[in-house]
Structure 1
Amino acid sequence: MTRLDALLGGLARERSTGALRLGRNGTIFLHDGRVTYMECAQTPGVERLLTARGRMTEAALRGLQADGGCARLLEEGALTPGELQFAVLGAVLDAAFFLLPISGTRPKFRPGERHWLGGQWFFDVAGLVRECARRRAHLADIWPSAEVDTLPVRPVPWLPGHGVTLTRVQWEVIVGADQKATPLELSKQLGRSGYAVLLAVRRLAAAGLLTPPDPSHTAFLAGPGRGAAADKRPRHAEPADAAESAESDEVADGGEASGAGLPKRARHPYERPPHDPGAVAQPLGPPVTGDPTDLALLMRLKKALEELA
């Protein structure tokens, strides 16, 4: 089975224009061998990002898609070119993150087919691959188990301390969590980038603000062991000992723990494993060609905003 990035590399060398359809998973649009847009069934597209955040109504957007497309959208002034560019960048990087690893499908290329936004921005395939690798490494550095990416988001009913500071996206995730929606389902509901929500969820897990997985799910992986003698088997998340929790709660409320010595610390099921000093940061990408605006600068700005979110 040909890897998707290799297939895209071949289309780039042939300077192909059209749409590479990946079944129900999504579609990759190319112009003259360069990626112009990606759609992924798992992540919100640019349309959802614009309407869910109140930038424009769905009816207005449908009208623009049918008549005039991107040019009319910018002419009417509902969005600035920079706002639209930023939304497209987020949607493409989101889609690439989930589409590029896909295997087992039979892609079909339709020559000449274009996205309604047209060929306004161009992405280098190798750069997209590098950026996806950087994002995966960053997620693993925050919290090493990818299981939280696919399980329903279930905030803890109590704080692990006296207080907590949340970012805007983390607050939206906590408020929007209904115990059933997964991070990607929440991203569509909130109109947020799927990657931004994954970042928020992993940081919530690292802070001990998510409940452990339901026993019916597979074992929660707390990350690989460190050192030659480390146990490499998956480690199950286990509830903290009830007596330890009671002692910890009593001390937190201002009382004294019974028994001699310091009160025991209740280990939270989502306690963060040691940091891996050997993690190598991936270079930022993707480099962009053929765009009158410096999209590479926008990439750096987007990365900085994600770090603050």
Structure 2
Amino acid sequence: MLSRLAAERATGVLMRERGTLYLCDGEVVHAESPATPGLDVLLTVRGALHAEVWRQAVAEAGARRRVGRFLVDSGRIAEGALELCHLGALYDAAYFVLGPSSSPARFRYGAAHWLGSVRPVPVAALERETLRRRELLHRIWPDPATDTAPLVRSRGLAEPALTPRQKAVLDRVDGDRTAAEISLALGRPAFHTLVDLRRLAAAGIITAPHASAQAPEPVVAALLTGTTDDPDVALLRRLRDALEAL
């Protein structure tokens, strides 16, 4: 359906079970999902914008669907910074919107988002990135329960050395929060949180109730924590670090 809408250069909103995609002339200009923090959260929690500035922009330019343009033209944020943050939020939400669904999709022609067009993304590029992310998560840890269930720490396991980002995520695993709630609390893109949570699950540090995947091999935990003297594992760890840096 999305490919057909792109081919006909449609403008409107595609509504699916886990969120919405806004199209303009067949390209995706905005995406929203309850599973990930919105652009407003990503901008305000990280200090790129004050919350009051965001509210002012929505109040003054929302009806004209030019909130993004208002922020740039009024000097509240640089155009490049807005584009970068918006693309991150768009790809993040689209990952969830384009995920498996038990409900049919609906498209409403002519609808437009109040943010306005910031940096349109071709449908083909969005689909490729969504598939890449799905495959990456599967390689890290194949059980998707980590993405949606409340998460708990494994009992009897001493906390290993973690990266600051992983520790910030683990500190918010309390048996009640889901990945989406952890992302919201941190003001981070949800996909980044999923990557960290699946790595923690692969290392046996956290679990999801009724998880279907088998217990991780010790070498997986070693890759995460760096607590092994095995030269093969050390090589893999350096390779992982280099790829993450790229």
The TM-score with structure 1 as length reference comes to 0.64
Pairing of 1:91-110 with structure 2 (within 5 A): 91-110=89-108
Say if 2:28 is the partner of 1:35. Answer: yes
Cα pair 1:152 1:179 within 8 Å, conserved? yes
Aligned-residue CA RMSD in angstroms? 2.7
Note the residue ranges of structure 1 that are not aligned, 5 or more in a row.
1-6, 223-268, 275-303
- Secondary structure of the residue that 1:20 maps to in structure 2? strand
| 1:65 lines up with 2:58 in the alignment | yes
Equivalent in 189, 198, 217 of residue 271 of structure 1 = 217
Confirm or deny: 8 A CA contact 1:15 1:33 kept in the other structure.
Answer: yes
Structure 2: where are the runs of 5+ without partners?
Answer: 62-66, 221-240
Q: Does 1:9 align with 2:3?
A: yes
In structure 2, the residue matched to 1:238 is none
- The one of 205, 208, 212 aligned to 2:204: 208
Name the SS of the counterpart of 1:96 in structure 2.
helix
**Equivalent pair of 2:36/2:93 in contact (CA under 8 Å):** yes
Q: CA deviation at 1:179?
A: 2.1
Query: Which letter does structure 1 place at the counterpart of 2:57?
Result: L
Map Cα deviations across residues 207-247 of structure 1 (whole Å, 9 max, x no partner): 3322x44xxx434312xxxxxxxxxxxxxxxxxxxxxxxxx
Q: Displacement of 1:160 after TM fit?
A: 4.4
Q: 3-state SS of the aligned residue for 2:149?
A: coil
Structure (1/2) with the larger helix percentage: 2
In the TM superposition, what are the counterparts of 1:139-154 in structure 2 within 5 Å?
139-154=137-152
Which one-letter code corresponds to 1:307 in the other structure?
E
Q: Structure 2: how far apart are the matches of 1:80 and 1:124?
A: 23
Would you say the 8 A contact 1:206–1:272 is kept in 2? no
Q: Measure how far apart 1:11 and its partner are.
A: 1.3
Q: Alpha-carbon deviations, 1:120-165, whole Å to 9, x = none? A: 212121221221111111112222222222222323466547x51x
Distance 1:72 1:143 in 2: 42
Answering whether residue 194 of structure 2 is matched by residue 198 of structure 1, we say yes
Inter-partner Cα distance in structure 2 for 1:155 and 1:8: 39
Distance in 2 separating the partners of 1:219 and 1:71 = 45
Specify the structure having the higher radius of gyration (Cα): 1
Q: Relative to 1, partners in 2 of residues 1:110 and 1:177: Cα closer, same or farther, differing over 3 Å?
A: same
Aligned-partner residue type, residue 4 of structure 2: G
Partner of 2:244: 307
Contact 1:43–1:95 (Cα < 8 Å) also in 2: yes
1:218 is aligned, of 200, 203, 210, to: 210
Structure 1 CA distance for aligned equivalents of residues 76 and 20 of structure 2: 26
Distance 1:85 1:305 in 2: 27
Cα 1:308/1:168, change in 2 over 3 Å: farther
Query: Are 2:92 and 2:190, in contact at CA under 8 Å, matched by a contact in 1?
Result: yes
Q: Aligned partners of 1:115, 1:272: CA distance in 2, in Å?
A: 48
Structure 1 distance, partners of 2:80, 2:43, is: 13
Match of 2:172 among 176, 179, 184: 176
Distance 1:66 1:153 in 2: 38
Identity %: 38
Match of 2:134 in 1: 136
1:109, distance to aligned residue in structure 2 (A) = 2.8
Indicate how the Cα distance of structure 1 residues 104 and 157 shifts in structure 2: closer, same or farther if over 3 A, else same: closer
Alignment partner of 2:108: what SS? Answer: strand
User: How many matched pairs?
Assistant: 221
Scaled by the length of structure 2, the TM-score of the pair is 0.78
Distance 1:175 1:118, change over 3 A: same
